[in-house]
Amino acid sequence: MGEMTISSPSTGKPGKAWLAAEARLGRRAAGGLVGIGLLGTLCAVGQAYCLAMLLAVLIGTDGPDEPVLWPALAFAALAVARAVIGVTSESLAFRLGATARRRLRTDALGRLLAAGPALLRSAHSAELAAIVVDRVESLDGFFSRWLPASMLALATPILLAAFIACFDPLAALLLIVSAALVPVAMAVFGIGAGRAASRQFTAMSRLQTRFLDRMRGIATIVMHGRVEDEAQSLLRAATELRQRTMRVIRVAFLSSAAIDVAAAGTLVFLALRIFHHMADNSLADPVSSLFVLLLVPEFFQPLRNFSAAYQDQFQAHDAAKALEALPPMPVVAEPDKPIRTVAAQGITLVFDRVGLTWDAARGPVLEDVSFGVAPGETLIVAGPSGAGKSSLIEILLGFVRPTEGRVTLNGADISDLVPSALSKLTAWIGQRPVLFAGSLRENIRFARPEATDAEVDDAARFARVEAFAASLPQGLDTDIGEGGFGLSGGQAQRVAIARAMLKNAPILLLDEPTAHLDSTTESEVLDSLRRLTLGRTTILVTHSAAAHEWNQGIGGRRIDLKDGRLIGNRGAA
Amino acid sequence: MKALFRLMALGRAQAGWLLFGLAMSLISTLIAVSLSGAAGAVFAGGILVAAPMALRALGPLRVVSRYAERMVTHNALFRALADLRVWFFRRIAARMAGGLGMARAGDLLARLVGDVEAQDAVYMRVMLPLVGALALLPILAVVLGNLDIWLALAVCVLFVVSAFVLPMMAMRGALAGGTTLAQAMAGVRVATLDAVTGLREVRAFAAEGRMLAATQARESTLLTAQSQALRRVSWAGAAAFLSAQAAILATLLLGRDHGATAIALVFLVMAAFEAVALLPRAGAQAGVAAAAAERVVAMTDSPIPCPDQPKPAPLPASYALRIEAVGFRWQEDRPPVFDGLSLDIPQGAHVALLGPSGIGKSTLAALCLRLESPQIGRITLGGVDIASLAAADLRHQIGWLSQATHLFDDTIRANLLIARPEASDAELWNALERAQIADAVRALPDGIETYLGEGGLRFSGGQGRRLALARILLSPAKILILDEPCAGLDADTERKFLTTLNQTLGDRSSILIAHHLAGVEKLDRIYRLSAGRAVAAAG
């Protein structure tokens, strides 16, 4: 599995500033939720007081005739209020998380899309998708739980301690001291939790990537009888995930145990104090004693919520690092005007001493490559596989920038073009066209969504898609599976040709367009391509002898690449 | 619901852990209730003299038991979930020997990750507190009943409502929404994967905005579904809260005549209701889990295509392959691919099968590997109908290099070892040599340990094809079906490979599927496919 090598643009501790900024935003948004939470606490105080009054009646210090009606009614009314407040605050919390997720997911996917296909060289698509789907999803807890809980964990105990202090200052002091110990315990137990959370996500992402990759190649695994091996390695990955997850939640359990100690200790202490007062008949005010006792769980509840959301915070730290490390959104420049206006008369394409290195260890894929293609001309690029032919096309498509030299279209450097402007100029038929699950028609229309049905039909006819679609039950509306399931390699290629036709761009880039075709279909497709190349600047990468002959027929030139260098530059034969 | 029970039954393997967790949870619940009862009992000092002592002992016990319970139950749960994922993979593999077909990889991933994860609610949030509730109900009935039968009745009815009725209602209500929720989550995953997998196409066709919008639309659906699910969960929680409050009030009002003892009861009731307070919410979550379980089972319980017979015949020693008057069509409403196809590939023979694309060359491979069964006629291996052989045996004997052969995101070595895990280094390099790719691999800084990238992305199309070729040559299969082995190779490499192919095959048979011949192949027979039959062609 390739490691993610997306560089981080920031300085300092990665993700920290990002998360701090998000937290500021999130806290501002959580104001209403905190207000409602405090209102709920006030209701709980009222309820505790009613309950204490009712209980005091039972002890009988005030006589059995004490009225119970109004405390009982108030208790019931406050219960209903608390229920409504509970539902409201949960829905508010959801909205906080949802708003943040929506914003962050759009940002993350937008940045991936802007960075483009070069990303796939260093990361598996499942890893990238996990950032957009799972990383962002894991941030929900940060906004909907952790931020409000961290504010309420401070405000609510202070509010309650103030009430308690009115009746029993010693109890209030005791509660505040034990509450102050909670964050200390959490910090102690939380040492190393950040790294544990990060490892947990890595384990999860690895499990996903492995599974997705294995699913795409499931036929290969079954055919080689390797299902059991793969099941075992999936079990190993799942076991690793379990161990990592346990390490993360243990922190949450330990800090929650620390609160249990504080809560149970306080409760036991207060109850025993009441017991001793009762034993020597010195219990002056049973209502206030009971009231204080009943508020103890309420006092610790926000701290519990705080500790339960503790792991959300670790996950958020980790997610922040990943999201901040995504390639930044490029600044959108003005579309290059000269290119646009000249496009009508055709485009001159020039490679000027171009070099490209994907991976320093593997050496350059292209070195000192120079050539030019005039408007309407077709250039064949030949050479053994791995010579760098496809890399040349990828530069023209803007998937990657040359590491040396420059490529110009009508004199303008393509590095200065925004991706959308460059993509308007080029149509491309690749070696491995990605087809999406959906109908043939939808797959062709992908090239130009606003195309009419008639235009799609034309493109399909032109690329000989109709020839095989006719035998399918629903013709062009037949659904195909992900990755072109249901189509042969040659058929998939013809869909890609139809896309290029529909797109109708001034530069045509053909990367082995006839590799999977039989000779009859190949000559038909070459026929179609000949019409497509008319008036367009075309680069054709091919091994096919037929294509070479075809190009000579139309007077095209040919260059030969070997190990990334130009070894021949012949004119028309 | 049936699916849910089916998945629960799979927990058997971890029954020890799961029961241990259950016991710990029960102990922890009882300690919590006793602690609260004891706290209340201090007010009834005259009745329960032991209360202060109990308090001192129960306080620490509660903390320890709660921590232990959580560790044990989570451990048990994650073990069960890991098993479930592996089970899911095995079942999928048995059903998708021919590839994913119309299934989406992202959707399968969503089932493996999210839908399996949703099952945690069943054990953690439903089963554990439910057992606690079953233990608490008689305790409440006896303790309260001793004092006042009406009080006991009122509280027990409220308890039953809170612990059993509300969760059940919440579960039913959540079933339909659960399906929507699971589908919505899968939708986000699929849309995102489409955008990321297709980054090249997306850039080339300037589809960034469209892909982003598609994901955003799926996300909106997800957020709506989540918000509806949450609303159900919070109202169920509110109902549980209100019934607990009603029980407390009832205890206070009906227990008035019993003086201070009633205080202990109030604390007991509070703790008992707290133990089941999350059950109605859990009911709603269990509804979601049940819907997710349906999605898991839907993939794993579909019939296995071309399953093995109950007692498969042993693999014959001979590997002569005969196709006898086979008729096959993919679907009723589609024209037949084969109509009386007969082919004879004797042991060790090298045969070529020619024809234009779409004539059924790949279909023939699928039939020989029993990914599909012919509707008419039969195929025999060593004289035995392949329908009576075990599919695993058959596929051990026949190797297939398809056009869609997948290169895994792993090292070259790992990719090769899939064909033969026990292969030595010398054998790996030998296979690479024969596929004409050894020199290129040797030139890499990491050599055979180089990562291929997703789908072999870090290598050119022709190089990837040759690596796949090396893999199939390494496999121990006696019959190799090579579907366009040279697609994407330059003419020189193609010629070199085909010239040496026969020597490298040894005593194996080969079926070369191609559009045309390069002219250097050494073949025993050449067939041309046409109109659903094979016609012998001149070499």
Contact of A129 with chain B, judged by CB distance below 8 Å, is answered with yes
- List CB contacts (< 8 A) between A327 and chain B: none
Stretches in chain B below the pLDDT threshold 50: 46-48, 539
d(CA B386, nearest CA chain A) in Å: 15
Contact of B53 with chain A, judged by CB distance below 8 Å, is answered with no
Query: CB neighbours (10 Å) of residue A534?
Result: 10
- List CB contacts (< 8 A) between A117 and chain B: 199-200, 203
- List CB contacts (< 8 A) between A229 and chain B: 421
Window 301-340 of A, Cβ < 8 Å to B: none
Using DSSP bridges, classify how beta strands A557-562 and A565-570 pair: parallel, antiparallel or unpaired. Answer: antiparallel
CA B218, B221, B225, B226 torsion: positive or negative? positive
* pLDDT score recorded for residue A333: 55
Which tokens hold the place of A370? 């120079």
What percentage of chain B carries pLDDT values higher than 70? Answer: 98
Q: Closest residue of A to B264, CA-based?
A: A55
Residue among B103, B407, B515 whose CB faces A518 most closely: B515
Q: Closest residue of B to A438, CA-based?
A: B102
* pLDDT score recorded for residue B46: 46
- Return d(Cα B66, Cα B58) in angstroms, integer: 12
CB A293 within 8 A of CB A118: no
- H helix intervals, B301-384: 361-368
Contact of A361 with chain B, judged by CB distance below 8 Å, is answered with yes
d(CA A570, nearest CA chain B) in Å: 19
Window 552-571 of A, Cβ < 8 Å to B: none
CATH code reported for the domain at A16-324? 1.20.1560.10
- List CB contacts (< 8 A) between A271 and chain B: 38-39, 42, 52, 55
CB A248 within 8 A of CB A308: no
d(CA B42, nearest CA chain A) in Å: 6
* pLDDT score recorded for residue A7: 42
Query: CB neighbours (10 Å) of residue A11?
Result: 7
B85 and A234 in contact by Cβ < 8 A? yes
* pLDDT score recorded for residue A79: 97
SS3 percent helix, strand, coil of chain B, rounded to 5, is 65, 10, 25
Using alpha carbons, list the distances in angstroms from residue B135 to B163, B248, B272, B275, B276. 12, 20, 10, 11, 11
CB A371 within 8 A of CB A569: yes
Window 384-423 of B, Cβ < 8 Å to A: 392, 395-396, 399-400, 402-410, 418-419, 421
d(CA B134, nearest CA chain A) in Å: 25
Which tokens hold the place of A131? 């950032």
CATH code reported for the domain at A337-570? 3.40.50.300
The residue ranges of DSSP E strands in A306-455, in sequence order, are 349-356, 366-373, 378-382, 404-409, 412-413, 426-429, 438-439
Q: Where in chain A is the domain with CATH 1.20.1560.10?
A: 16-324
Q: Where are the domains of chain B?
A: 99-300, 321-536
Q: What is the DSSP string of A46-97?
A: HHHHHHHHHHHHHHTTT-TTS--HHHHHHHHHHHHHHHHHHHHHHHHHHHHH
Helix (H) or strand (E) holding A568: strand A565-570
Helix (H) or strand (E) holding A177: helix A169-189
B488 and A80 in contact by Cβ < 8 A? no
Contact of B305 with chain A, judged by CB distance below 8 Å, is answered with no
3-state secondary structure B253-293: HHCHHHCCHHHHHHHHHHHHHHHCCCHHHHHHHHHHHHHHH
| Binned average pLDDT, 10 residues per bin, chain A of 573 residues | 41 79 93 95 95 82 64 95 96 96 95 90 88 92 94 94 91 91 83 81 87 89 90 92 88 85 84 78 78 90 88 87 85 54 71 88 86 89 83 89 91 84 87 86 91 92 86 86 80 87 90 76 78 86 74 76 77 38
d(CA B30, nearest CA chain A) in Å: 15
Which tokens hold the place of B25? 């949870």
A385 and B462 in contact by Cβ < 8 A? yes
- List CB contacts (< 8 A) between A308 and chain B: none
A59 and B94 in contact by Cβ < 8 A? no
- Return d(Cα B478, Cα B345) in angstroms, integer: 12
CATH 3.40.50.2300 fits B321-536, yes or no: no
* pLDDT score recorded for residue A573: 33
- The correct CATH number of B99-300 out of 3.40.50.360, 1.20.1560.10, 1.10.10.60, 3.30.1050.10 is 1.20.1560.10
The C-alpha angle with vertex A389 and arms to A385 and A391, in degrees rounded to 5, equals: 115
Contact of B442 with chain A, judged by CB distance below 8 Å, is answered with no
Query: CB neighbours (10 Å) of residue B302?
Result: 12
A58 and B255 in contact by Cβ < 8 A? yes
Angle between helices B166-197 and B279-300 (to 10 degrees): 50
* pLDDT score recorded for residue B44: 65
Q: What per-residue string of b and e applies to B48-77 under the rule 16 or more CB within 10 Å gives b?
A: beebbebbebbbebbbebbbbbbbbbbbbb
Interface confidence, given as ipTM, is: 0.87
d(CA A482, nearest CA chain B) in Å: 6
B463 and A68 in contact by Cβ < 8 A? no
Residue among B75, B108, B259 whose CB faces A215 most closely: B108
Interface test with B, best of A47, A59, A109, A133 (most B CBs within 10 A): A133
- Return d(Cα A456, Cα A473) in angstroms, integer: 18
d(CA A307, nearest CA chain B) in Å: 14
Q: Where in chain A is the domain with CATH 3.40.50.300?
A: 337-570
* pLDDT score recorded for residue B32: 87
- List CB contacts (< 8 A) between B35 and chain A: 264
pLDDT digits (tens, 9 = 90+) for B318-336: 999 999 999 998 878 778 8
* Contact pairs from chain A to chain B, CB under 8 Å: 431
Window 74-103 of B, Cβ < 8 Å to A: 74-75, 78-79, 81-83, 85-86, 89-90, 92-94, 96-103
